[in-house]
Amino acid sequence: MDCPRAELYILDQLRQHLSPTLFYHGLHHTLDVAAQAQSLAEAEGVTDPTDLALLRTAALYHDAGFLTAYQGHEEASCALARQVLPGFGYAAVQVELICQLILATKMPQSPGALLLAQLLCDADLDYLGRPDFWPISRTLFRELQARQLITDEHAWNQIQVQFLSSHRYWTRTATARREAAKQERLAEARALVDGFPGLKPWATQGPVPPAD
């Protein structure tokens, strides 16, 4: 299992071929998810080198499907993983585990009791409970706007409320780190939907991260 080569391959593909209008699902998101997955794994006591390597590979490939598809990108990510990872020495059972982790991130998330899947799911939505929630969420709004999948900010804020209300973190570490702040973001989103005058929380959270 040649993880470094598998990593270099997919990062090169993402860097060169992702759409420039993937303001949220750009290379920066993939790198963030990989970093958060590793941090969560360490905190949850995952020490097996193979498990850590498979988790990192899944994180780096989890949104690779955006190279070819927007809707159903998780399945496209798995198709790519099945196509290229055997060439980097990944056994069939390892590739299928990676695909299981990737598919667990599909909304609504479904990691079940598998810790590695829970870690990837929590890493994928780590930003929901972070200080940079609002600027990051704005990049997703812009991305959906570019595809005519969202009409206006009010509709977007309603979606934010619904999503934050229904979301859960799966690991104890992510819950401890992010849940309280996520509830604060939910309260802010509800205030926006209710028309609280002058409230634009993203305006105080720094610039929108640039697209890769």
105-159: per-residue pLDDT in tens? 999 999 999 999 999 999 999 999 999 999 999 999 999 999 999 989 889 999 9
List, for residues 158-193, the tens digit of each pLDDT value: 999 999 999 999 999 999 999 999 999 999 999 999
User: d(Cα 195, Cα 174) in Å, to the nearest integer?
Assistant: 31
Task: Provide the pLDDT confidence category of residue 84 given band limits of 50, 70 and 90.
Answer: very high
> What contacts 190, CB < 8 A, 6 or more positions away?
161
- At 194 the pLDDT is 86
